[in-house]
Amino acid sequence: MATPLTDQEKRKQISIRGIVGVENVAELKKGFNRHLHFTLVKDRNIATPRDYYFALAYTVRDHLVGRWIRTQQFYYEADPKRVYYLSLEFYMGRTLQNTMINLGLQNACDEAIYQLGLDMEELEEMEEDAGLGNGGLGRLAACFLDSMATLGLAAYGYGIRYEYGIFNQKIRDGWQVEEADDWLRHGNPWEKARPEYMLPVHFYGRVEETRDGSKWVDTQVVLAMPYDTPIPGYMNNTVNTMRLWSARAPNDFNLRDFNVGDYIQAVLDRNLAENISRVLYPNDNFFEGKELRLKQEYFVVAATLQDIIRRFKTTKKGVPGRTSFESFPEKVAIQLNDTHPAMAIPELMRIFVDIEKLDWDTAWDLTKRTFAYTNHTVLPEALERWPVELLETLLPRHLQIIYQINQAHLDRIAVAFPEDMDKLRKMSLIEEDGCKRVNMAHLSLVNPFHHFEPEKFQNKTNGITPRRWLLLCNPGLAELIAEVIGEDYVKELSQLKKLNDFVDDAAFIRDVSKVKQDNKVKFAQYLEKEYSVKINPSSMFDVHVKRIHEYKRQLLNCLHIIAMYNRIRKNPTAPFVPRTVIIGGKAAPGYHMAKMIIRLITSVASVVNNDPVVGDKLKVIYLENYRVSLAEKVIPATDLSEQISTAGTEASGTGNMKFMLNGALTIGTMDGANVEMAEEAGEENLFIFGMRVEDVAEMDKKGYDAMSYYKKLPELKQVMDQITSGFFSPKNPDLFKDITDMLFKHDRFKVFADFEDYMKCQEKVSQLYQDPKEWTKMVIKNIAATGKFSSDRTITEYATEVWGVEPTDLKIPPPNDTLKVND
């Protein structure tokens, strides 16, 4: 059971976690009991912990509803420019605690639940993660929604309500096994279905040329049913909307054909239409050109654009609706989260030209001024290139429009670069080599190729929301920071630089160190409870959690583990700084090499963890089913964050920022946002190693020779010989042949080239860890330098530099006040 807060603790926590008023607590208890009784139809004798979670969720949701309605009312009255964030992924995680924090209800809820004789943490653990994303791209979308609401932007997230999110990962006999993520099994208290806004989406068919222009006819229709989830800003009474579409078959599906005698079969076949929103594709940084995936991409785009246009045309009562689209780009900004929703471009053109009867040039001008696109990866295998043949079948009118866009595009290039056929070929939206394909990145850029129109290109450093990634997951650290610099940093993270004044403050150093130790003990207890593994909380927690991918180089970490193991075995009495190496992350189900990497790590773990010579010095844990709610537990407990991708392969990364904010030090290459982290904190306050981008380019020119490193570095040779000989797989010595072959013969990511420097850098890490005071000083310098990495800063830049909207401090009046809007 939870223990009540002392008066001193309450005073300490008042600010960040909300005020505990007697009336407040009484009202929450009343709401809780009412929902248990009337919504869940249970009494305290038969209610389960899940019932209690739902009762609390509905009670907290009650506090959102008034603010949600008021916010939407306010937007309707004030008619601001609206921002639409289109994404195939929103990796939201859990909602309960985040909502309590953003509404300032956390302390009151804690107290109410305590008085009801329940354990808040147990209830929070009942909530399923909304795992509607793979990794960075989907989680970034979720952080962005939080920041857009906190900054008071009239913003909407639009995506798909997948019935099954990212698979649940089980490790069985060392292998990854996937299980379906039936996250909606018990219902979702945070969503509200909106069948009254259901919209048709068309597929297949053919194009008919008429006197009135092109008509897309004989299509198959699928209905898009919207489900709305509230997105509360932090303590500003703003509640925005994330609208996710679910596919529904129309009632006459397969029954319009009067000769279909099989009524039963026709009803069963409704599943085929509804499969569109059934499951999230589990690929991260990899394009798989499947028809169902293209259907998903067009489905979200077609439903969303109808919704956007409906909202654009609807104005206040008594004011005639908008009939001209002239002001469309002044009222609407659409951000494409990677190329996944890029079909929005030809779709908006189709609506403007075919349905609204605008001429092509006007339509194209409006479209160009409405969309912006963010590229999230530099790996070529991640780029979407859809076969023309597939588009021709599924979306024939859109293919025509893409051809027309491309023709105008190539005409412009030909004028700018006459005689340069190679440039035309490279910049065309259509790739002609082999199977004809539409390059979706080229479609998203169309005019602004960098050397062609450099002014249209901007860089935006990604960010993370400090609400979830500090207040929610690390309350001890959040409170400690508030005690020394005040609480305003939560909305203005750059204030963390004030912590530089406390780098040498003995009491602050001690407190920061204690918070980390408490978090480590708590995480160690979690691991023991969930996985029956015992770890030593005074060891260094060395953590590498992210999707499993060759470019992220979990293999480099694995080689280091084996090398440490060999050192201990060679000289068991030599001093060794104890480590618990924690690796976690999911491999795409079809990515053989990634699955073999997991198998290698688990094999190494079972050897290391069961060797009596090693004892407590080195432990290796594979963290099963890494997800948002598990990140919230492991990140605050981490000492060393591994960010070791080959320089030039990670576009940004955001996990790196979460670790930095939570008091971990980083070992990393000069890749992605590590570069800016080193810029902000000073390179001397990160453990930077390995080739830089220029070195990698140089090596690509002269050729990478893995064997030369194997011959030159005895420790590397020993490690590779052990893997090759079956030391870690005695029952199947050839088990890891695919890995060793890749490392020696075709390693795109040059693991061996950085091995020696990585080993040396890791020794520096161990050395500093032996001096807790100096280690913690470096931690404080890192936390003080994280201000730039708030998604509030990222979104402020998008708002002012891309979308043409201004963040506002305006606090919408709470539901009990009257709403006044100046016309």
Q: Just list the catalytic residues.
A: 376, 546-547, 552, 654, 658
Alpha-carbon separation of residue 414 from 168, 197, 440, 454 (angstroms) = 51, 45, 21, 18
Which three-class secondary structure state does DSSP give residue 194? coil
Q: Which of 198, 190, 83, 78 is nearest to 141 (CA)?
A: 83
The per-residue b/e assignment along 130-156, b for 16 or more CB within 10 angstroms, e otherwise, is bbbbbbbbbbbbbbbbbbbbbbbbbbb
Which residue carries 């008085």 as its tokens? 115
The helix or strand, by DSSP H or E, that contains position 209, with its residue range, turns out to be strand 206-210
Alpha-carbon separation of residue 313 from 233, 346, 642 (angstroms) = 27, 20, 50
Measured distance CA(752)–CA(743) in Å, rounded: 8
Amino acid at 809: D
Q: Tokens for 695?
A: 């070195």
Q: At what angle do helices 554-570 and 714-725 cross, to 10 degrees?
A: 100
Measured distance CA(281)–CA(162) in Å, rounded: 10
Q: Which of 254, 288, 256 is nearest to 272 (CA)?
A: 254
Torsion angle, alpha carbons of 76, 241, 443, 413, to 10: 40
Half-sphere exposure of 33 (CA within 13 A, CB side): 10
Q: What is the 3-state secondary structure (H, E, C) of 287-313?
A: CCCCHHHHHHHHHHHHHHHHHHHHHHH
Q: Tokens for 778?
A: 């470096």
Are 205 and 224 in contact, with CB atoms under 8 Å apart?
A: no
Measured distance CA(567)–CA(521) in Å, rounded: 27
Are 487 and 16 in contact, with CB atoms under 8 Å apart?
A: yes
Measured distance CA(379)–CA(443) in Å, rounded: 18
Q: Which of 537, 482, 545 is nearest to 513 (CA)?
A: 537
Are 2 and 114 in contact, with CB atoms under 8 Å apart?
A: yes
Are 689 and 757 in contact, with CB atoms under 8 Å apart?
A: yes
Measured distance CA(438)–CA(430) in Å, rounded: 5
Q: What is the 3-state secondary structure (H, E, C) of 232-249?
A: ECCCCCCEEEEEEEEEEC
Which three-class secondary structure state does DSSP give residue 704? coil
Are 593 and 558 in contact, with CB atoms under 8 Å apart?
A: no
Are 134 and 89 in contact, with CB atoms under 8 Å apart?
A: yes
Q: What are phi and psi of 779, to 5 degrees?
A: -60, -45
Are 170 and 180 in contact, with CB atoms under 8 Å apart?
A: no
What sign for the dihedral angle of Cα 210, 215, 219, 225?
A: negative
Are 556 and 753 in contact, with CB atoms under 8 Å apart?
A: no
Are 577 and 616 in contact, with CB atoms under 8 Å apart?
A: no
The helix or strand, by DSSP H or E, that contains position 215, with its residue range, turns out to be strand 213-217
Please state whether beta strands 206-210 and 168-172 pair in parallel, antiparallel, or not at all (unpaired): unpaired
Are 246 and 224 in contact, with CB atoms under 8 Å apart?
A: yes
List of residues 6+ apart from 680 with CB closer than 8 A: 785, 786, 787, 788, 789
